[in-house]
Amino acid sequence: MIPRKRYGTKNTDQGVYLGLSKTQVLSPATAGSSSSSDIAPPPPPVALVPPPPDTMSCRDRTQEFLSACKFLQSRQNGIQTNKPALRAVRQRSEFSLMAKRIGKDLSNTFAKLEKLTILAKRKSLFDDKAVEIEELTYIIKQDINSLNKQIAQLQDFVRAKGSQSGRHLQTHSNTIVVSLQSKLASMSNDFKSVLEVRTENLKQQRSRREQFSRAPVSALPLAPNHLGKSGHPGEEVPRFWGQSPVPPGTWPST
């Protein structure tokens, strides 16, 4: 048997180990078992030790989650029990939107009426915008009819939902409807007055045109006749430029 060389500086002589033998002597049973199986036995299981509580990256929030679920559940139950109140709020918002839209249309129509009033009060023949006045008149008529229908629909809505809403809310809604009706009536009266002014101005303009087109012809003065009124000599003494009148009987003889 060739001796194995050991490399080192202690107990060595030219690479040969001179110390005590450190080779383990195996028993026959152990040698047989090691020769029969080349697979090493699995290592023993290592017990997992949990880290200390201070080093954990998350914390248990189960109780917070359960409390949030209970809060949401109670909130949903409260919403279900307050359905009549929610219905009343929804009706109120719908009424407010309708009334707001009518008020905006009233303001726009008032602005058109003011412009029509300025144009209709002009009395000049050369600055009469008849086409624009007719267009504004037609538009304002259509707006007034539309506003009448919208206010009627709003009043029907208040009557239909009056039993479901409270008395105070119904009184407030009726007050708003009456206010809108009053504004529309006032605007209609103003529109009627403007049309009357326009009609009167048209009559005056027509009479002025007739006066200008039928101007009276004045009688032109006639030049004096040298022969007199009847054309016979002697009845009127002719007067020549720069001469005194010639007495009768002194006419030159021919």
Instruction: Give the Å distances, CA to CA, from 55 to 17, 51, 58, 218.
Output: 52, 7, 9, 123
Give the torsion through C-alpha atoms of 98, 102, 107, 109, to 10 deg: 150
User: What confidence tier does 227 reach under pLDDT thresholds 50, 70, 90?
Assistant: very low
What does residue 59 show for φ and ψ, rounded to 5 degrees? -130, 160
Q: How big is the chain by its Cα radius of gyration, in Å? A: 61
The reported pLDDT for the residue numbered 5 is 55
Which tens digits make up the pLDDT trace of 150-168?
Answer: 999 999 988 887 666 667 7
Which tens digits make up the pLDDT trace of 62-82?
Answer: 888 888 888 888 776 655 555
User: What confidence tier does 144 reach under pLDDT thresholds 50, 70, 90?
Assistant: very high
Q: Which of 217, 10, 179 is nearest to 103 (CA)?
A: 179
User: What confidence tier does 243 reach under pLDDT thresholds 50, 70, 90?
Assistant: low
Is the Cβ–Cβ distance between 95 and 173 less than 8 Å?
yes
The reported pLDDT for the residue numbered 137 is 93
Residue type, 28: P
> Is the pLDDT at 135 greater than 50, yes or no?
yes
* Joined tokens for residue 62: 């189960």
Q: What domains sit in the chain, N to C, each tagged with a CATH number?
A: 79-212 (1.20.58)
238-246 own/partner pairs: CB under 8 Å, 24+ apart: none
